[in-house]
Structure 1
């Protein structure tokens, strides 16, 4: 059986700040169904939910070299939904509020990366593949090559590095490389870890891993261009031979409108009448007029990446139309204030919820007719996949994973059930919304599109099979 160790800084439900946590919370479960012995390792954060922390059991105390010091590491374990999870505990590094954004993040994740490799003898699990996710796990491959490769049990381990969002690169002073990771000057080059005078965890993953993946095929191409490449496009073009894109999925057990505990009226593709009832329930809850108009939902972080500038630019023009709009999310204060003011001006047509509330978000997916996601860039995106599952037709910009997963409803292949625009332009977005609103006026056609959306398979099954094929290719290369 293939043995795979997933290395990530977060995994739902233990800790999640975004799509990475969702992926690590659901992909391993599907891989195990594909007969892959996959296990997950992550830091043990103080802010984990108490009921989950109570399930985690101490296994071993080990010591991890960080520069000239040996730092204590508690090795702990639990099983969640059949997936083994290992937790690396160090109170100094992880017993603090929040997860990222500290001045010593370089030291914290230098410790984490080294501890991943140091723990293997203590769990008696030497994987065929170590699959590392985003910059927080970017130094596992360089450390493996430098300090562990000559040891018998480490000689055949292959590495994969998955880029979830290239914008966040783990850039730190050179001293993190030399003083904390213990790597010599020969690593501080363009072909190694150097990036504009700093060292980069992201570059470590890209340069040293055997395979580099991204979370959608289009994003894999986009990041090789200057516009999307965040200063790494030239490097990524040079690594194109070992790059591929595997689209993310969603957990179809978790996101299922026929048995979602957060919605009042379950429904499925054979019986979609419950969707209308959920709309009426949400209108009542949010004190919107209970009438039959198109309901648009936007569930997002209020940051430039998510296209919120476009939305604000045309929002009042949009709200003059016969529709209702719900926006759920938090983010930059300038956006929160603008949305709040517009919401107050149009109280019968909009509900601006400046918070993240999972229950409310699920109800919005189930109630809405349209789901707006006009991202400036989007490595994969999960919101549009959940929307499709719940029969809320996406209105998206054609970028990254949005382009790969949402096809225009007039697509020649006949698979489309969304509304798309290509340029990052507010009025192009408004045109796509108007097209959707006109289509909504044709009930028979609309119902067919909703059913088509709900029938699309964006579960992890296909993606898990693709990852398994990559693992098997790497394993074959070991035998050769």
Structure 2
């Protein structure tokens, strides 16, 4: 792509500053890959209280943010660069909205004013461009938190961003931003947009729905997920709306930062290893077993899980079969946090089973150790827009056991015993029985088809999912969006 673009990239969370899920990983990596391709990109996110300001540069002038019937609010702005890059990232500092214990909610649920919080943030992102005299060619919004941007750029801010094309990436369609319709008077986009084809949904405002309608292009984080969200099973009520706009919908698989997730250089491992010398993986397995006080055995299949204990991740499926699985000669380790029932349930399992261990919480170091020390990695998600852990697992020679959905289906090649190829094990029905049978299948291959299992490991470790490849696909979408904005036909 010869045209070098000015890109505003707005996200509610960005690694390493704040993270609850995959959105943060994308926002921390994709802008760096786009800059390497020659584009001028600025990232903007809220300044949560967990983002320390001591190492940030504070912009001298305050930022005025018009909030309709609420009047004008004034925010501070901080600035730094994304790690190991020259990509500028700006933080919108407004204590009343972002100085809280959580990003979107706390133990009592989502914050009651999330509508105003993220309308404020979206408007602040556009006001920031004006303050910096930065004229974006592309306004890239992510998930419902910033899905108001395509609507705002067409309405309230049209005179400042008339030539900017908007792209909206859906990382998880389940969360859409449903709010009381009075937020229309805060958004200031005009009540004519409160209709079933844009922002209105069952007499309330659906911010993501409006963003999908008004964006010049919409992306999801895998090709399979782009198809799935057009069906009732995965569309969460928006499947018909998305089908109307599928002419501008594209699936682009997330990349992986191999400078962080690579067993050859991983600083958290007991011993590094690579596809040419796998001996270090056994050392990592022993280290993991010792950490969790499991029997140190190199012959027992060790299965790892890292993720949120929520229904989407298939945690109920695991709970339904874990005791039956542990009756077999296997070991299972789990790292995660989430729904209280799940934490309590797996804590009880850990008390009574000597071949099962749990770390309730999150540890980046332990996540790396589980990826390296496990023989197989469990991801039985009910839906998975992209998924990153299965891609990490491939690089570590830890064969994924997954449900064939979204990015899991796109990245995992089911083991073919006849041709002895594949990089993991897949099941299709979202049932505990299907999960149970697939785990036992993988264990059987590990125990009785050693040569095939090792061949799969080496094949998996040579798979490559880079952000550079993803960034080139986003370039094509940006060009499509610009042509769409200008009223031209352009096909990718």
For the criterion TM > 0.5, the same-fold answer is yes
Please state if 1:397 is matched with 2:368: no
Residue by residue over 1:271-315, the C-alpha shift from the partner in whole angstroms, topping out at 9 and shown as x without a partner, is 111011000011111111101211000111111111111111111
1:221-232 map, 5 Å: 221-232=227-238
Please state if 1:43 is matched with 2:46: yes
Which residue, 98, 104, 124 being the options, matches 1:94? 98
Stretch moving more, 185-194 or 439-448: 439-448
Aligned-pair CA distance for 1:358: 1.1
Partner of 1:159: 166
What is the distance in 1 between the residues matched to 2:264 and 2:272? 5
What is the distance in 2 between the residues matched to 1:27 and 1:414? 35
1:376-391 map, 5 Å: 376-391=382-397
Partner of 1:332: 339
Partner of 1:455: 462
What is the distance in 2 between the residues matched to 1:326 and 1:434? 16
Stretch moving more, 75-84 or 468-477: 468-477
What is the distance in 1 between the residues matched to 2:236 and 2:455? 41
Residue by residue over 1:140-195, the C-alpha shift from the partner in whole angstroms, topping out at 9 and shown as x without a partner, is 111111122234xx2210000011111111111011112x1123321110012111
1:202-213 map, 5 Å: 202-213=208-219
Aligned-pair CA distance for 1:461: 2.0
What is the distance in 2 between the residues matched to 1:34 and 1:440? 42
Aligned-pair CA distance for 1:200: 1.2
What is the distance in 2 between the residues matched to 1:142 and 1:413? 51
Q: Is the 8 A contact 1:305 1:376 kept in 2?
A: yes
> Normalising by the residue count of structure 1, what TM-score does the alignment of the two structures yield?
0.96
> Normalising by the residue count of structure 2, what TM-score does the alignment of the two structures yield?
0.93
Q: Cα 1:231–1:53, aligned 2, differ >3 Å: closer, same or farther?
A: farther
Q: CA RMSD in A?
A: 1.6
Q: Is the 8 A contact 1:78 1:84 kept in 2?
A: yes
Q: Cα 1:411–1:161, aligned 2, differ >3 Å: closer, same or farther?
A: farther
Partner of 1:311: 318
Q: Is the 8 A contact 1:57 1:78 kept in 2?
A: no
Partner of 1:266: 272
Partner of 1:300: 307
Please state if 1:191 is matched with 2:193: no
Aligned-pair CA distance for 1:371: 0.2
Partner-residue secondary structure (3-state), 1:289 = coil
Q: Is the 8 A contact 1:47 1:98 kept in 2?
A: no
Residue by residue over 1:208-264, the C-alpha shift from the partner in whole angstroms, topping out at 9 and shown as x without a partner, is 100011111111111111111111111011111111111111111111111111111
What is the distance in 2 between the residues matched to 1:53 and 1:430? 50
Aligned-pair CA distance for 1:412: 9.0
What is the distance in 1 between the residues matched to 2:484 and 2:195? 28
What is the distance in 1 between the residues matched to 2:202 and 2:395? 43
Partner of 1:61: 62
* Gapped regions of structure 1 (runs ≥ 5): none
Partner-residue secondary structure (3-state), 1:394 = strand
Q: Cα 1:231–1:412, aligned 2, differ >3 Å: closer, same or farther?
A: farther
Q: Is the 8 A contact 2:216 2:482 kept in 1?
A: no
1:399-478 map, 5 Å: 399-410=405-416, 416-441=422-447, 442-476=449-483
Partner of 2:7: 4
What is the distance in 1 between the residues matched to 2:417 and 2:129? 49
Please state if 1:14 is matched with 2:17: yes
Aligned-pair CA distance for 1:477: 5.2
Residue by residue over 1:339-396, the C-alpha shift from the partner in whole angstroms, topping out at 9 and shown as x without a partner, is 112221212x111111111111110001000000001111111111111111110000
Q: Cα 1:59–1:339, aligned 2, differ >3 Å: closer, same or farther?
A: same
Aligned-pair CA distance for 1:59: 4.5
Residue by residue over 1:414-436, the C-alpha shift from the partner in whole angstroms, topping out at 9 and shown as x without a partner, is 86210000011111111111111
